Amino acid sequence: MLQQEAAFTLPVGIVAMQPTQVFQPGAEMAGTLLAVLPLFIVFLVLQEHLVNAVQAQGTVG
């Protein structure tokens, strides 16, 4: 079990940052955006290579 907050993964950190009494959807959505944004940027950069690889694999057989 993780004991140090610095070792938390992003989803665990987002859940841990939620207060128990007041629900703040803005803070939760901002944390989720920060977790997803790097993956989305990598996908946009590598999109052409991924599509070409799928097309090449489909035409091999």
Q: Tens of pLDDT along 20-32? A: 777 778 878 888 8
**Structural domain boundaries, residue 44:** 5-60
What whole-number distance in Å separates Cα of residue 18 and Cα of residue 24? 7
Residues 6 or more apart whose Cβ sits within 8 Å of residue 14: 28, 31, 32, 35
Query: Alpha carbon of 26 to those of 22, 33, 35, 38: distances in Å?
Result: 12, 10, 14, 19
Model confidence pTM above 0.75:
no
Give the count of domains, the chain.
1
What whole-number distance in Å separates Cα of residue 27 and Cα of residue 13? 12
Q: Look at residue 47 in the predicted model and tell me its pLDDT.
A: 95
